[in-house]
Amino acid sequence: MRLSQAFQPTLKEVPAEAQIASHRLMLRAGLVRQTSSGIYTWLPAGLRVLRNIANIVRQEQDQVGGQEVLMPTIQSADLWRRSGRYDAYGPEMLRIQDRQGREMLYGPTNEEVVTDLFGSTVKSYRELPKVIYHIQWKFRDEVRPRFGVMRGREFYMKDAYSFDLSYEAAVSSYYRMMLSYLKIFRRLGVKAVPMAADTGPIGGELSHEFLVLAPTGESEVFYDAGWDEMDWESMALNPQNEADLQKLQNLVKETYSATDEKHDLTAWEAVPEDRRRGGRGIEVGHIFYFGTKYTEAMGVEVNGADGAAIHPHMGSYGIGVSRLVGAIIEASHDDAGIIWPEDVAPYRAALLNLRPGDETCDAMCESIYSCDPEGLLYDDRSERAGVKFNDADLLGHPWQIIVGPRGAKNGMVELKHRATGERSELPLDEALAKLGLR
C-alpha cells in the first residue's frame, strides 16, 4: 500500500478520552475511531490486524476439528426463552423489537442458536463429536465500557461449541480446546496463562480463563512460576492423542493458577514462596464445560447405539478477537508506539523513502515495493524524514526498510528492527533476502 493513497490517519496528539497505552496508541496509529461509547469503526490498518488474528484463530480451530459457520447477530427472544436465559440474562443483553413487535436481541453469545442448530440437524450418535464455531460480532451492553476495544460493548469474538456423547469425551474436548488455545496465543505472540475461573451466566462446572499478563489488566491473578517455564514447543502435545490430553490435564491440576475470584489460599500456601507469581491480567479467552444444561433445557437429543436418547454434553470456548488487539498492544509497545508481533502486524514492513523525487531513491523504492505491494506500507509521502520515522515507529511494523540518498547511490538500504531497535545497512539484495521478499 502506498501511504500517500492510504486511508491511514495518524495523530500527533492524544485524544483526551484515552487513558491506557493501547487505547491511546490505537487512536494515534489510526487503527480505530470511536463512534459511540464502547462502539468503534475499524480503519484499514486495524482491520488488517483484526483479520490476521481471526485467521490464526481460524487455522488453529480447524486444526482441532472445528467446523466454521456464521450465525447471525440478531436472535429471537423465543430461542432464549427455551433455554430459560431470556429473563436470566439481565440488562447487559440488548433487546430490540422488529416492526411486528416481535422481541429480538443482539446476541451476546450463541449457545441457544448453536444448540438449536445442532439439535435440528444432528440425530445420531454416529455424528458426534462435533465442534462448531464462528467468528462474529457480539453486543453486551456493559455498565461501563472503557479502555477502548478492550471493554467495548460491541466486540468481535470467536466462539466454539463442542458436542460429545459422554462426560469423559466432553472433558477430552475441553482439554483439546485448551491445547488449541495455548497454541493460538503463542502464535499471536502473547503469553496467556489458563486460570481456574467462575462460570458466570453460561453455567457449568469446569472453566478456565486465559489471561495475558499486563499491568493494566482488570483481574488480579496468582500463579505458579511453572507457567512461565513450560516449554510447549518441545513438549509437543498432540491434541488428537488422549494420553497427551491427560498430560495437559495433570499439568493444569499440578500447576496453580487462579484469578482473584477463584483464588484458593490453601492451595496457594502449598506453592513454594519463591515460585509464587502475581500481577494483573487481561482476559482474552474463556472456556467452559457445562454438560447437558442447554441440550436438556432445549430438548436436544441424539439416538445412541442402543436407540436410547442421549443429551449431548456441551462446552463453549470464546476468544475475544477485538480485545486481543488491545491486549497485544498492552503487552507489546514502547514510548514511540506499537511493536507488533510478526504474525499480526498490519504490514510486514514499512518502506521509507526519505527523499521522494530523488531518482535513485524512487527507483530503489519502486523495485522493493513491487516485491510485495500488499505486505509493504510504502511511505512515499513528501514528508520530512522525521515524520516518517515517527509514523513508522507508531504503526509498529516489525521492520522498516529505510531508503535515503546517502545509501541508495551505493545500492545500500537500512533495515530497522522495530522490537530491538537494531539497525543495519545492507546491500539491497541482502536486505530483501533477509525479509523474505526475494
Partner RNA sequence: CGGGGCGUGGCGCAGCCUGGUAGCGCGCCUGUUUUGGGUACAGGAGGCCCCCGGUUCGAGUCCGGGCGCCCCGACCA
- Exactly one of 24, 151, 176, 311 binds RNA (CB under 7 A); that residue is 151
Using the contact rule CB under 7 A, the part of the chain among 63-71, 142-150, 271-279, 426-434 near RNA is: 142-150
DSSP letter, residue 411: T
Which residues ranging from 364 to 383 are in contact with RNA (CB under 7 A)? 383
State in angstroms the smallest separation of the CB of 246 from RNA.
25
Beta carbons within 8 Å of 214's beta carbon, 6+ residues apart: 280, 281, 282, 327, 330, 331
- Exactly one of 11, 117, 371, 419 binds RNA (CB under 7 A); that residue is 11
- Residue 165 vs 385, nearer CB to RNA: 385
Beta carbons within 8 Å of 319's beta carbon, 6+ residues apart: 57, 157, 158, 159, 181, 184, 210, 284, 285
Residue 24, CA distances (Å) to 17, 345, 397, 399 in order? 9, 18, 17, 22
Q: Can you read off the three cell numbers belonging to residue 162?
A: 463442542
Q: Concatenated DSSP letters for 109-159?
A: --HHHHHHHHHHH--BGGG-SEEEEEEEEEE---SS-BTGGGB-SEEEEEE
Q: Concatenated DSSP letters for 48-84?
A: HHHHHHHHHHHHHHHHTTEEE----SEEEHHHHHHHT
Packed helices 242-254 and 167-187: angle between N→C axes, nearest 10 degrees: 80
State in angstroms the smallest separation of the CB of 356 from RNA.
9
State in angstroms the smallest separation of the CB of 265 from RNA.
18
Task: Give yes or no for residue 271 binding RNA (CB under 7 A).
Answer: no
Q: What whole-number distance in Å separates Cα of residue 315 and Cα of residue 404?
A: 56
State in angstroms the smallest separation of the CB of 281 from RNA.
11
- Phi, psi at residue 261, to the nearest 5°? -70, -20
Task: Give yes or no for residue 218 binding RNA (CB under 7 A).
Answer: yes
Which residues ranging from 28 to 57 are in contact with RNA (CB under 7 A)? 34, 36-38
Task: Give yes or no for residue 88 binding RNA (CB under 7 A).
Answer: no
Beta carbons within 8 Å of 15's beta carbon, 6+ residues apart: 24, 27
Tell me how far the alpha carbon of residue 418 is from its chain's centroid.
22
- Exactly one of 295, 389, 432, 435 binds RNA (CB under 7 A); that residue is 389
Task: Give yes or no for residue 384 binding RNA (CB under 7 A).
Answer: yes
Beta carbons within 8 Å of 239's beta carbon, 6+ residues apart: 63, 64, 176, 179, 180, 245
- Exactly one of 402, 431, 432, 435 binds RNA (CB under 7 A); that residue is 402
Q: Is the peptide bond before 201 cis (omega within 30 degrees of 0)?
A: no
Query: What 3-state class would DSSP assign to 417?
Result: strand
- Phi, psi at residue 392, to the nearest 5°? -65, -40
- Residue 213 vs 403, nearer CB to RNA: 403
- Residue 285 vs 315, nearer CB to RNA: 285
Per-residue x/- track, 178-217, RNA (CB under 7 A)? --------------------x-xxx------x--------
Per-residue x/- track, 312-351, RNA (CB under 7 A)? ------xxx-xx------------x---------------
Task: Give yes or no for residue 263 binding RNA (CB under 7 A).
Answer: no
- Exactly one of 348, 404, 428, 437 binds RNA (CB under 7 A); that residue is 404
Task: Give yes or no for residue 145 binding RNA (CB under 7 A).
Answer: yes
Per-residue x/- track, 290-319, RNA (CB under 7 A)? ----------------------------xx
Which residues ranging from 224 to 253 are in contact with RNA (CB under 7 A)? none
Q: What whole-number distance in Å separates Cα of residue 362 and Cα of residue 342?
A: 27
- Residue 224 vs 393, nearer CB to RNA: 393
Closest Cα to residue 89, out of 76, 79, 80, 78? 80
Task: Give yes or no for residue 131 binding RNA (CB under 7 A).
Answer: no
Q: Contact residues for RNA (CB under 7 A)? A: 10-17, 19, 34, 36-38, 140, 142-147, 150-153, 155, 157, 198, 200-202, 209, 218-219, 283-286, 318-320, 322-323, 336, 354-355, 383-387, 389-391, 393-394, 402-407, 414, 416, 423
